[in-house]
Amino acid sequence: MKRKILIVLLILIPILTVTLIYIINKQNIPVFKENVKDVLKHTESETASETISVTPTPILPPTISELMTELESGVQSVDEERLFLLIEEESALGYYSNLVLANRYDNENKDGSMYYWVALELYYN
């Protein structure tokens, strides 16, 4: 009885290993064999022709006329990130950018007093 079991196992083990190897190799084969080379050639030609710029676009500070029109009209015309560039600048641009930010915060019922104080510090008497 033991001998029959041993013979069956000796026959089954190689068969099972061969089927396992076949299944593993079958899963690694691409579905569309004939199109793989065409796809690789196509993607290589695309990447060679297309150049992607990785440098970020610089944020330009607002002009005095933009700041004045926003203060006069109350309509938001300048992005906040452009205003934050000028917050600590000791010039008219810094003064007006702080006033614009303070005005925006006051319109949103937030505390904008910090920007008023900074604007007063930047203003020359």
Residue pLDDT, tens place only, 10-64: 899 999 999 989 888 888 766 665 555 565 565 555 545 566 667 788 888 999 9
Query: How many residues comprise the chain?
Result: 125
Q: Which amino acid is at 4?
A: K
Distance CA 64, CA 45 (A): 48
Contact 105/115 with Cβ under 8 angstroms?
yes
User: Which tokens go with 116?
Assistant: 């008023």
User: Which tokens go with 121?
Assistant: 């510090």
**Whole-number percent of the chain with pLDDT over 70:** 78
Provide the whole-model pTM: 0.54
Contact 102/113 with Cβ under 8 angstroms?
yes
Contact 115/123 with Cβ under 8 angstroms?
no
User: Which tokens go with 47?
Assistant: 């990447």
